[in-house]
Amino acid sequence: MDRPEPGGPHAIPRRHAPIEQLVRQGSFRGFPALSGKNSPFKRQLSLRLNDLPSTLQRKTDFQTKNPDS
């Protein structure tokens, strides 16, 4: 029985990184320096969950239903 090709019949095989490159990437020590304002990972800062319209609506709905809380 023939097994289907991984990724489909039109998939183009691509090269993978050599193990030396993966080891070098894994030993990167710059992540502590990337924290804070210089971080390229700013998605969490842009996701201001408390400012989302759905969150504000939920808060106001909760306050109107439970004025003592």
Going residue by residue through the chain (69 aa), what tens digit of pLDDT does each one get?
566 667 788 888 888 889 888 888 777 777 666 666 666 666 666 677 788 888 889 988 888 888 765
Domain-located, residue 60: yes
Domain-located, residue 24: no
Number of domains the chain contains: 1
Domain-located, residue 11: no
In this prediction, residue 55 carries a pLDDT of: 87
Determine contact, residues 55/49, Cβ cutoff 8 Å. Answer: yes
Provide the 3-class DSSP secondary structure of residue 64: helix
- The pTM score is 0.31
- Provide the residue range defining the domain that includes 47: 42-69
Domain-located, residue 9: no
Q: What is the DSSP letter of 50?
A: G
Domain-located, residue 28: no
Domain-located, residue 18: no
**Tokens matching residue 13:** 């095989």
Domain-located, residue 48: yes
Domain-located, residue 25: no
Residues 6+ apart with CB under 8 A from 5: 11
